[in-house]
């Protein structure tokens, strides 16, 4: 069940929120809800995807050598099977 939360914003911020929501085909409520979720997101996840990609780029060959039968298909730079 969702809860109602009231916040006060100045006229300029309200106008910017309405403009952004309209540009995204969304609502001010949805925009603020998304921002709230991002504000409470676990900070340990920040940059996790980039760290993982770097690790794979640096260590992927070692994994392929250690487990040749389990190596994933090779992909080109676009992510498609080579």
Whole-angstrom Cα distance, residue 70 to residue 64?
Answer: 7
Look at residue 39 and give its three-state secondary structure.
helix
Look at residue 7 and give its three-state secondary structure.
coil
**Residues forming beta bridges with residue 81, ordered by sequence position:** 75
Q: What is the pLDDT of residue 81?
A: 62
Q: What is the pLDDT of residue 82?
A: 59
Alpha helices in 1-82 (DSSP H): 11-23, 28-40, 48-66
Based on its alpha-carbon atoms, the radius of gyration of the chain, rounded to whole angstroms, reads 22
Q: What is the pLDDT of residue 23?
A: 97
* Domain boundaries, given as residue ranges, for the chain: 11-42
Per-residue pLDDT of the chain (82 residues; tens, 9 = 90+): 889 999 999 999 999 999 999 999 999 999 999 999 989 988 787 788 889 889 989 988 888 888 888 866 777 777 676 5
């Amino acid at each position: 069940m969702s809860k109602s939360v009231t916040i006060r914003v100045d006229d300029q911020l309200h106008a910017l929120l309405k403009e952004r929501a309209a540009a995204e085909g969304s609502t001010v409520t949805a925009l603020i809800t998304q921002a709230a979720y991002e504000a409470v997101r676990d900070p340990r996840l920040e940059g996790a995807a980039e760290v993982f990609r770097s690790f794979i780029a640096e260590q992927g060959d070692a994994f392929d050598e250690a487990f040749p039968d389990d190596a994933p298909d090779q992909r080109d730079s676009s992510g498609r099977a080579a």
